[in-house]
Structure 1
Amino acid sequence: MKSLKYYEKNRHATWLELFFDLIFVVAIGKVTHILGDVHQGHFEHEQLWTFLLLFVPLWWLWSSHTIYSNRFDTDSNPHRLATLFIMLLLIVLSALIGEKPEVNYPLVIACYFGIRVIISIMYISSRSKLDGRGEFASRLGFALLVSAVVTISSVLFDPPMRYLVAYFGIFLDVLLPVFVGSILKPLPAHTEHLVERLGLLTLILLGESVISLSAGLSNIQWDRYNVMTAITGFIMICSIWWIYFESFYLLSNNESNMTGHALIYSHLFLFMGLALLANLIRHAILNDIAIRDFQIMSIIGMALFFIGKQYGYFIAVPKIRKYILQNTLIVLSLGGLVIFMPRVEYILVGLTATMICYVFLNFRYRGIFINRP
């Protein structure tokens, strides 16, 4: 049996993990596309709920596999085969995703169940990989099987009860690693590896934002507003990259015994914020959205992005908590002001300016840490 990659010096994401991320983004792209259309300038309530109901389970599939790999990956043939089969189910699942989740619901939930079962078996089989803490892997694996059974049992019910049952099982899935970990004390998260995985996925999702920007520029009638919006959209994406990765080294250098849950769970909000902002850039270019909807989704997207980005730092780096609270309050307050501008193009410019403002605000605590790479 191969040894755990957890103990390798200078550990990095494996080629298989990078491949897994690409497949995952295909599925996330299908979900994000649900917000790509508006109806007479407005998002429909069913459209927004569908986005939320599909986004959370997909995020958890990626997160749960990442949590497992962070501690128990051996890059062995069984691990590779299990991960590749998960990727196959993700492809099938992404092909079934649409704006009407009830149409293919049994097949979608079956794919989700299959992935959860594979991850559970991976946990259970990892018991022998650790001497003192193998019980954590075994118990968590069996607990996750129970929550997976709860989720698939939702096919026995009609809407909306089936969604309540399915999400009850999903929330059990999300909370079980925390509860089991608090009792059995698993290995601390491999911080450098976890931060790298999150950063790589964020980078790929930013690439999806560029694709959304490019798609919005196809077959449009060019005018000064389109040009301004396209340039502003790209500057916003660059600003998001700068905000996310400028202080990334603070997480990588963190030496506490983190479980990693703060980083994993906060990125749900960050990823959702990125999805909303990417769609808003596209709608601003097409000018096909009512300004009221644009205002609401803009402030929600900004809030989700900054809350998701900041919470992990707030937990992991206590030295900068004061700056985190101040900077976040300033940028969200500015964002709340600029959304009242008279055109969606101007609002996008204002939101981009607030992000650039945040970049400069971050310079205030750079001197606190001397050993920056």
Structure 2
Amino acid sequence: MKSLKYYEKNRHATWLELFFDLIFVVAIGKVTHTLGHVHQGHFEQEQLWTFILLFVPLWWVWSSHTIYSNRFDTDSSLHRLATLFIMLLLIVLSARIGEESGVNYPLVISCYFGIRAIISIMYISSISKIDYRSELSSRLGFALLVSAMVSLTSILFDPPVRYVVAYIGIFLDILLPVFFWSKSKPLPAHTEHLVERLGLLTLILLGESVISLAGGLSGIQWDLYNVMAAITGFIMICSIWWIYFDSFYLLSKNDSSMSGHSLIYSHLFLFIGLALLANLIRHAILNDIVIRDFQIMSIIGMTLFFLGKQYGYFVAVPKIRKYILQNTLIVLSLAGLFIFLPRIEYILIGLTATMICYVLLNFRYR
């Protein structure tokens, strides 16, 4: 049996993990596409709820697989086959979400159950991999399997009850690892590997933002305003990259005794914020959204991005907490002022300026 990669020196993401990320981005791209259109200039409530309700379980599929691999990956043939099968189920799931939800729901929830069941079995089998600490992980595997079965039973109910039952299982799924790890801390996270995995996925999602930007420019008549929006949008994406990765080394140097859940869970907000901002850039180029919706979604996207980005640093690097609070307050206050500019393109320029402002503020503690 292969030894755990957890104990390798200079551990990095495996080629399989990188492949897994690409498949995951295909699924996330399908979900974020629900925000790619507006109805008479407005986002509909059902549209926004669909995005959130689909995004959360997909994020949890990636996160839970990452949490497991971070501690118990052996890169063995069985681990590879299990991960590849999860990727197959993700492809089937992403092909059916958002289309005829009532008809496709049994297939979608069955794929989700299959993914969760595989990860549960991987946890259960971890008892043979390391010392006594893996016994608790096996118990976690059984608990996760039960929560997945709760979600699966939702096919027995009609809407909207089925969605309530499904999310009871999903929330149990999300909360159980925190309970198990905080109770006895069976095995700390491999910090450098976890930080690298989160960074790689964020980088891929930024690439998806550029694709969304380019898609907005295709098939339209270029003029001063949409070209201005495209250039500004690209500068915003570059600024987000700078903000996210400029102090990235502080996380990887953090104490290895952390569980990693603060980073994993805070990135849910960061990823949702990125998806909102990317779609807003697209709508600014297309000029198909009313300014009020753009204002509201802009401030929500900015807040979620900075909340998700800052919380991990706030927990992991206490010495810069004062700067984190000051910089975030300054940037969000500026964003709150810029959203009242008279045109969508001007608002986008203002929000980009706040991102650049944050980059400059960060120089104080580099």
Would you say same fold, with TM above 0.5?
yes
SS state at 1:271 partner: helix
Q: Check conservation: 2:185, 2:259, Cα contact below 8 A.
A: no
Paired residue for 2:269?
269
Residue identity matched to 2:181: G
Paired residue for 2:226?
226
SS state at 2:102 partner: coil
Paired residue for 1:167?
167
Paired residue for 1:109?
109
Deviation, 1:102, is 2.9
Q: Check conservation: 1:50, 1:99, Cα contact below 8 A.
A: no
Deviation, 1:101, is 3.1
Offset from partner CA, 1:238-285 (integer Å, 9 cap, x none): 000000000000001112411000000000000000000000000000
Give me the whole-angstrom Cα distance separating, in 1, the residues matched to 2:240 and 2:186: 34
Residue identity matched to 1:114: G
Q: Check conservation: 2:190, 2:256, Cα contact below 8 A.
A: no
SS state at 1:103 partner: helix
Q: Between Structure 1 and Structure 2, how many residues are aligned?
A: 366
Mapping for residues 144-223 of structure 1, pairs under 5 Å: 144-223=144-223
Give me the whole-angstrom Cα distance separating, in 2, the residues matched to 1:21 and 1:31: 15
Residue identity matched to 2:10: N
Give me the whole-angstrom Cα distance separating, in 2, the residues matched to 1:357 and 1:183: 41
Give me the whole-angstrom Cα distance separating, in 2, the residues matched to 1:54 and 1:130: 35
Give me the whole-angstrom Cα distance separating, in 1, the residues matched to 2:268 and 2:159: 25
Deviation, 1:104, is 1.2
Q: Check conservation: 2:229, 2:345, Cα contact below 8 A.
A: yes
Can you give the 5+ residue segments of structure 2 that lack an aligned partner in the other structure? none
Paired residue for 1:363?
363
Offset from partner CA, 1:325-351 (integer Å, 9 cap, x none): 111111111111100111110000000
Paired residue for 2:45?
45
Mapping for residues 77-92 of structure 1, pairs under 5 Å: 77-92=77-92
Bigger shift: residues 84-93 or 176-185: 176-185
Paired residue for 2:141?
141
Deviation, 1:184, is 3.0
Deviation, 1:364, is 1.1
Offset from partner CA, 1:298-348 (integer Å, 9 cap, x none): 000000000000000000000000111111111111111100111110000
Give me the whole-angstrom Cα distance separating, in 1, the residues matched to 2:160 and 2:17: 36
Offset from partner CA, 1:32-64 (integer Å, 9 cap, x none): 000000010001111000000000000000000
Give me the whole-angstrom Cα distance separating, in 2, the residues matched to 1:185 and 1:303: 31
Q: CA RMSD in A?
A: 0.8
Bigger shift: residues 223-232 or 200-209: 223-232
Deviation, 1:25, is 0.2
Deviation, 1:100, is 5.0
Residue identity matched to 1:318: P
Paired residue for 1:290?
290
SS state at 1:340 partner: coil
Give me the whole-angstrom Cα distance separating, in 2, the residues matched to 1:86 and 1:212: 26
Which structure 1 residue ranges, 4+ long, deviate > 2 Å from structure 2? 99-103
Q: Check conservation: 1:50, 1:101, Cα contact below 8 A.
A: no
Give me the whole-angstrom Cα distance separating, in 2, the residues matched to 1:99 and 1:253: 44
Give me the whole-angstrom Cα distance separating, in 2, the residues matched to 1:273 and 1:182: 28
The alpha-carbon distance between structure 1 residues 311 and 100, as it changes in their structure 2 partners (threshold 3 A), is farther
Deviation, 1:362, is 0.8
SS state at 2:348 partner: helix
SS state at 2:49 partner: helix
Paired residue for 2:308?
308
TM-score of the pair, normalised by structure 2: 0.99
Can you give the 5+ residue segments of structure 1 that lack an aligned partner in the other structure? 367-373
Q: Does 1:127 align with 2:166?
A: no
The alpha-carbon distance between structure 1 residues 258 and 150, as it changes in their structure 2 partners (threshold 3 A), is same
Q: Check conservation: 1:34, 1:99, Cα contact below 8 A.
A: no
Residue identity matched to 1:54: L
Deviation, 1:103, is 3.4
Give me the whole-angstrom Cα distance separating, in 2, the residues matched to 1:18 and 1:84: 12
TM-score of the pair, normalised by structure 1: 0.97
SS state at 1:102 partner: helix
SS state at 1:298 partner: helix
Q: Check conservation: 1:50, 1:100, Cα contact below 8 A.
A: no
